[in-house]
Amino acid sequence: QVQLIESGGGLVQSGGSLRLSCAASGRTFSRHAMGWFRQAPGKEREFVAAIGWSGDRVDYADSVKGRFTISADSAKNTVYLQMNSLKPEDTAVYYCAARQVGIVGVQGEEYHFWGLGTHVTVSS
């Protein structure tokens, strides 16, 4: 089992920045690919970003490319999502997820462990 706890969400003005953190515990963290997903009110969950277990492969949704950066600190068992130039349409609950393999995935169904989420609200 892997336990994931997200933090860092909050209210920010359009154009601002936030950094989300996802602290993992349980199984060997370094063997898991990690991802960030989000779900806005009334919408389906969508992929945001993912990083392979070695950190050499990352993937982003087109909507966040150039604005968001995913990174991992294996010593701290923590994954980060730096979000810059935030827009009102980035408002959502952001979830951290872990796969049981080290390869990045963009589908929620590919992930086996999920955090409870952290709220991000971007005001216009």
> What CA–CA distance (Å, rounded) separates 86 from 4?
24
**Going residue by residue through the chain (124 aa), what tens digit of pLDDT does each one get?**
889 999 999 999 999 999 999 999 887 656 789 999 999 999 999 999 999 877 779 999 999 999 999 999 888 889 999 999 999 999 999 999 999 888 899 999 999 999 999 999 999 9
Angle at 7 between CA 68 and CA 33, to 5 degrees: 60
